[in-house]
């Protein structure tokens, strides 16, 4: 017969891994806590507690053999497919279809799985989105190609810069600086016309839309620590983008004055 403490430990591991995958791939704080609670209840643990922040998860099981576990979250990205798959596994657990060991194995496979789309598809999608945003902001078709190229290049080099400088703020600053420089060159070479619209369309793939949405939803759900921290992260990203573009525009304005 399996010892209760080992069972609690295994259940805690499943809950933590499910929460970790969701939090690292764009899941909201309240959704992560709700999923962990549902999984624990499905495994016969009615009294469990979780505390989730963007940088860590604490999970505790009450009872004679109390179990408390902490896991650190160091990297976050956006892959809502993984969040959806974890939700599907949670529902299977609730229906009694999976044992803790089976659920943990499936979650490990999800965590180890590569991103749903190759890098080149993401870059192409960002480039197309940049051109479409330009049109949405009432830009001209003659500026579609400059926004397409600048937006795709900025998104591509964001990952490259992040590997060179493992600080998100500087990577986003350099990526926006590249976008602004390319937009300025396109206009200078008469390959583009409206510098402002080209820049706005090109930086849209870098804008932290999901982060802002999650911050607001966490605040509305009463998760003030997570909501404020995510809001601060979104603000820093917006500031980095704005600083990079402002740096380029300062030279553009200076050149215009000299001309």
CB-count exposure of residue 70 (10 Å: 0-12, 13-18, 19+): exposed
Longest dimension (CA), the chain: 85
Q: Encode the chain (259 residues) as per-residue pLDDT tens digits.
A: 333 444 888 889 999 999 999 999 888 888 898 999 999 999 988 888 888 888 889 999 887 777 888 888 887 888 888 999 999 999 999 988 888 889 999 999 998 887 667 888 889 999 999 999 999 988 889 899 999 999 999 999 998 888 887 888 899 999 999 999 999 999 888 888 888 899 999 999 998 888 888 888 888 888 888 889 888 989 999 999 999 999 988 876 655 433 4
Q: Say how far apart CA 26 and CA 258 lie, in whole Å.
A: 47
Contact 50, 223 (CB under 8 A): no
Contact 94, 42 (CB under 8 A): yes
Residue 67's SS3 state is strand
């Amino acid at each position: 017969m399996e010892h209760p403490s080992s069972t609690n430990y295994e259940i805690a591991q499943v809950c933590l891994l499910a929460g970790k995958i969701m939090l690292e791939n764009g899941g909201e704080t309240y959704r992560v806590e709700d999923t962990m609670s549902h999984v624990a209840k499905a495994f016969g643990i009615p009294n469990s507690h979780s505390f989730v922040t963007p940088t860590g998860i604490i999970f505790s099981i009450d009872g004679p053999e109390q179990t408390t576990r902490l896991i650190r979250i160091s990297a976050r990205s956006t892959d809502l497919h993984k969040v959806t798959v974890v939700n599907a596994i949670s529902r299977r657990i609730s229906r009694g279809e999976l044992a803790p060991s089976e659920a943990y194995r499936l979650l490990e496979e999800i965590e180890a799985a590569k991103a749903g789309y190759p890098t080149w598809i993401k870059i192409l999608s960002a480039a197309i989105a940049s051109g479409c945003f330009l049109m949405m902001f009432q830009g001209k078709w003659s500026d579609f190609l400059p926004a397409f190229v600048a937006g795709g290049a900025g998104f591509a080099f964001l990952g490259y810069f992040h590997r060179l400088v493992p600080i998100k703020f500087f990577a986003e600053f350099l990526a926006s600086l590249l976008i602004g420089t390319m937009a300025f060159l396109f206009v200078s070479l008469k390959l583009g016309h409206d510098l402002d619209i080209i820049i706005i369309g090109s930086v849209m793939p870098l804008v932290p839309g999901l982060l802002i949405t999650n911050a607001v939803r966490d605040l509305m759900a009463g998760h003030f620590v997570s909501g404020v921290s995510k809001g601060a992260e979104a603000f820093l990203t917006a500031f980095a983008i704005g600083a990079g573009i402002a740096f380029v525009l300062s030279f553009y304005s200076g050149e215009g004055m000299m001309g």
